[in-house]
A = this chain, B = another copy of it.
Amino acid sequence: MVLVRGLLGDVLRRRRLRQGRTLREVSADARVSLGYLSEVERGQKEASSELLASICMALEVPLSDVFAEVSQDLAREEALVAAQAQALTSQPLVLTRPAVDSDVVASAA
């Protein structure tokens, strides 16, 4: 299951670091506690709509930009999860066939 808060936190941290700003600076501008912003960036806490808007305003980045970036990251994660699921379902077939063959050979010998 792909979780949004981790990807959202990554996008917010990338945007902040790209501006060369500290957690302290952005948390002060957004009027959120430093600890809260840090947890949001690390995907450990869900950001409410109000606080997300405040953080984006402090970063001077439109919410629509942040959501577009999260959408792209989600699409990448979804493709990865789909590829892993595909690999998991195709692996047993490859592993099972030789085992069945050798069983037949062993019992025929």
Contact = CB atoms under 8 A, between A and B. Distances in A.
Q: In the assembly, how many copies of this chain are there? A: 2
Interface residues of A, number: 25
A75 B74 CA distance: 19
A17 to B, nearest CB: 22
The 6 residue pairs across chains A and B that have the minimum distance between CB atoms: A67-B71, A64-B74, A64-B75, A3-B49, A68-B71, A5-B49
A88 interface: no
Contacts of A74: 62-64, 67
A35 to B, nearest CB: 19
A4 interface: yes
Contacts of A46: 46, 48-49
Given A3-B49, A3-B53, A49-B46, A71 B64 contact: yes
A78 interface: yes
A67 B65 CA distance: 11
Contact of A78 (B62, B70, B78): B62
